[in-house]
């Protein structure tokens, strides 16, 4: 446990009105600071048992002014989130009361916590490793039950245990190689050692590759699937957005060009989080504002992981329709033949030159038909119909994915070196590099600059 830290405080509940607000204090002086501003008869927080909660009032010790009626939780080290003494002051929700208590705590010896500093202390004090710390933020930002499950498993140490077991294989191999070199039992020690190194490199590489196979699904669960709803004006894009989010978010009219900018919303589709982007209708226009919207639509189209292309089946294909069909052909795309409640003037077979029939769905936003089929198709495209095994360990963090790719590259260098008959001590350098790269995921081999950058992305109070 690290003892040189000062005592920090922050508001741990969202700003605004609410039933309860919480001010969290952590550090060696946390209980003493809380005791100085707390009153409840003759009770002293310094004398209460750990992990107990107490009713009383917070006062300004300088003026004697009562600030709020509170419940104070006292939790002593090391059995706390930060492994330091922690006090949580539960007060009435609202901007004024919570901020006044925070200011009183700061005036009596605490300092304002930096973003993510509570979680950073939990990491530095050995309560959690770096991948678990990052899972805390994933848990807060989870947009579906499945994404929350993945974050919880990572917070529980599933990924950490897997990474450490792979690192242990590397470490054991390096130790055995050293023993073979220093205390050779065989005349062909070089050949035996090289064979061992190659076998273990292939084994480790297979473990890392298996983890990387989950990266695509994991990244989607963590960040959401960037989904652009496109089409020419007045084909039902905004209606589709409203139907998927089950809210009248976008304005729907019969007037072309109503949507002049991109609208973004998150929605859960069969456990897959979609970041829906309703775009302005793509067409040539003299309207300056609409033209800006069209340009943003084209950018959203290029950045999207999935395209939902709407075509009005009540009208013959236009040149604009054909342009969008050609433009999106190489992308992950589902074509929606919309307005099936009206007479059909375009059929799925007419679109065969641009797309296979299994990626074309007939819909009606008015009658709300075809949406179930659309949701199943999205899940099938990215998760083979399901959001993966519920007990699987997913790699969802971009930093982790990059480090795993670097690990693969280092292991490949080991194999190249072995095939080129390089000396074992030189080949070991790349094998050791793989061990170090995996350690950066859990924080076992990590630099202070990276820690500062990572925890700066956290919210205050966490």
Q: Which helix (H) or strand (E) holds 307?
A: strand 306-312
| Cβ within 8 Å of residue 260, ≥6 positions away | 280, 289, 290, 292, 293
Q: What percent of the chain has pLDDT over 90?
A: 39
* Alpha carbons 382 and 217: distance in angstroms, whole number: 7
pLDDT band at 398 (very low <50, low <70, confident <90, very high): confident
* Alpha carbons 364 and 356: distance in angstroms, whole number: 20
The one-character DSSP state at 113 is P
Is residue 258's pLDDT more than 60? no
| Cβ within 8 Å of residue 323, ≥6 positions away | none
What is the per-residue pLDDT across 186-206, written as a single tens digit (0 to 9) for each?
Answer: 555 567 788 889 999 999 999
8-128 is classed in which CATH architecture? 2-Layer Sandwich (3.30)
pLDDT at 245: 79
Question: Of 189 and 387, which is predicted with more confidence?
Answer: 189
Q: Which helix (H) or strand (E) holds 117?
A: helix 117-124
> Model pTM greater than 0.75?
no
Is residue 450's pLDDT more than 70? no
Q: Do domains 8-128 and 223-383 have the same CATH topology?
A: no
| Maximal C-alpha separation, the chain | 86
CB atoms within 10 A of CB 257: 17
Question: Of 257 and 37, which is predicted with more confidence?
Answer: 37
Q: Which of 44-53, 102-111, 287-296, 319-328 comes out lowest in average pLDDT?
A: 287-296
pLDDT at 236: 85
Q: Measured between alpha carbons, how far is residue 88 from residues 102, 108, 137, 256 in Å?
A: 11, 15, 20, 55
Residue 23 dihedral angles phi and psi, to the nearest 5°: -105, 120
What is the per-residue pLDDT across 155-166, written as a single tens digit (0 to 9) for each?
Answer: 888 999 999 999
pLDDT band at 31 (very low <50, low <70, confident <90, very high): very high
pLDDT at 434: 95
pLDDT at 244: 83
Gyration radius of the chain over CA positions: 29
Structure tokens belonging to residue 30 = 């946390």
Residue 67 dihedral angles phi and psi, to the nearest 5°: -100, -45
* Alpha carbons 283 and 230: distance in angstroms, whole number: 11
SS3 (DSSP) at 1: coil
CATH 3.10.20.590 fits 223-383, yes or no: no
Mean pLDDT of 254-280: 63
pLDDT at 2: 42
pLDDT at 257: 41
Mean pLDDT of 205-228: 84
Q: Are 190 and 258 in contact (CB under 8 A)?
A: no
pLDDT at 60: 92
Question: Of 171 and 396, which is predicted with more confidence?
Answer: 171
Which of 358, 351, 352 lies closest to 376, judged by CA? 358
List beta partners, residue 312: 338
pLDDT at 261: 41
Mean pLDDT of 81-106: 94
Q: Measured between alpha carbons, how far is residue 110 from residues 99, 113, 195, 281 in Å?
A: 14, 9, 59, 54
pLDDT at 273: 79
Structure tokens belonging to residue 234 = 């007045």
pLDDT at 118: 93
* Alpha carbons 336 and 374: distance in angstroms, whole number: 9
Question: Of 216 and 257, which is predicted with more confidence?
Answer: 216
Is residue 447's pLDDT more than 70? no
**Displacement of CA 444 from its chain's centroid (Å):** 21
Give the torsion sign (CA, 182, 183, 188, 194).
negative
Q: Measured between alpha carbons, how far is residue 123 from residues 24, 83, 119 in Å?
A: 17, 10, 6
CATH number of 135-214+395-443: 1.20.120.430
Question: Of 417 and 150, which is predicted with more confidence?
Answer: 417
Q: Which of 63-77, 90-104, 228-242, 277-291 comes out lowest in average pLDDT?
A: 277-291
* Alpha carbons 455 and 118: distance in angstroms, whole number: 9
Domain boundaries, the chain: 8-128, 135-214+395-443, 223-383
């Amino acid at each position: 446990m690290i003892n040189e830290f000062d005592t920090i405080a922050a508001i741990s509940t969202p700003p605004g009105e609410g039933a309860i607000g919480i001010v969290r204090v952590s550090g060696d002086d946390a209980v003493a600071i809380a005791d100085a501003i707390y009153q409840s008869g003759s009770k002293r927080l310094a004398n209460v048992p750990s992990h107990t909660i107490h009713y009383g009032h917070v006062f300004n010790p300088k003026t004697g002014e009562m600030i709020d009626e509170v419940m104070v939780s006292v939790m002593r080290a090391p059995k706390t989130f930060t492994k330091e003494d922690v006090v949580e002051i539960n007060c009435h929700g609202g901007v004024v009361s919570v901020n006044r208590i925070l200011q009183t705590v700061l005036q009596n010896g605490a300092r304002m916590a930096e973003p993510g500093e509570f979680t950073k202390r939990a990491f530095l004090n050995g309560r959690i490793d770096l991948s678990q710390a990052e899972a805390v933020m994933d848990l807060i930002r989870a947009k579906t039950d499945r994404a929350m499950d993945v974050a919880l498993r990572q917070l529980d140490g599933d990924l950490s245990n897997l990474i450490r077991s792979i690192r242990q294989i590397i470490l054991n191999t390096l130790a055995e190689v050293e023993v073979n070199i220093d205390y050779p039992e065989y005349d062909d020690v070089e050949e035996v050692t090289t064979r061992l190194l190659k076998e273990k490199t292939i084994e480790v590489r297979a473990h890392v590759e298996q983890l990387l196979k989950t990266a695509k699904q994991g990244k989607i669960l963590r960040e959401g699937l960037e989904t652009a709803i496109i089409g020419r004006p007045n084909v039902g894009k905004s209606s589709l957005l409203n139907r998927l989010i089950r809210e009248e978010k976008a304005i729907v009219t019969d007037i072309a060009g109503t949507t002049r900018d991109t609208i973004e919303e998150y929605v859960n589709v069969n456990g897959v989080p979609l970041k829906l982007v309703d775009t302005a209708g793509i067409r040539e226009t003299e309207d300056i504002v609409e033209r800006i919207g069209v340009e943003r639509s084209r950018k959203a189209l290029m950045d999207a992981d999935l395209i939902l292309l709407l075509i009005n089946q009540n009208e013959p294909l236009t040149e604009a329709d054909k342009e969008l069909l050609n433009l999106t052909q190489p992308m992950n795309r589902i074509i929606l033949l919309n307005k099936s409640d009206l007479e059909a003037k375009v059929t799925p077979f007419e679109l065969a030159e641009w797309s296979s029939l299994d990626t074309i769905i007939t819909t009606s936003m008015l009658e709300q038909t075809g949406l179930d089929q659309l949701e199943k198709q999205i899940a099938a495209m990215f998760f083979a119909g399901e959001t993966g095994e519920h007990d699987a360990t997913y790699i969802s963090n971009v930093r982790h994915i990059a480090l795993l790719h670097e690990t693969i590259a280092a292991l490949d260098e080991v194999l190249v070196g072995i095939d080129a008959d390089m000396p074992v001590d030189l080949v070991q350098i790349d094998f050791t590099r793989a061990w170090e790269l995996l350690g950066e995921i859990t924080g076992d081999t990590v630099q202070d600059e990276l820690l500062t950058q990572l925890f700066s992305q956290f919210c205050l109070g966490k």
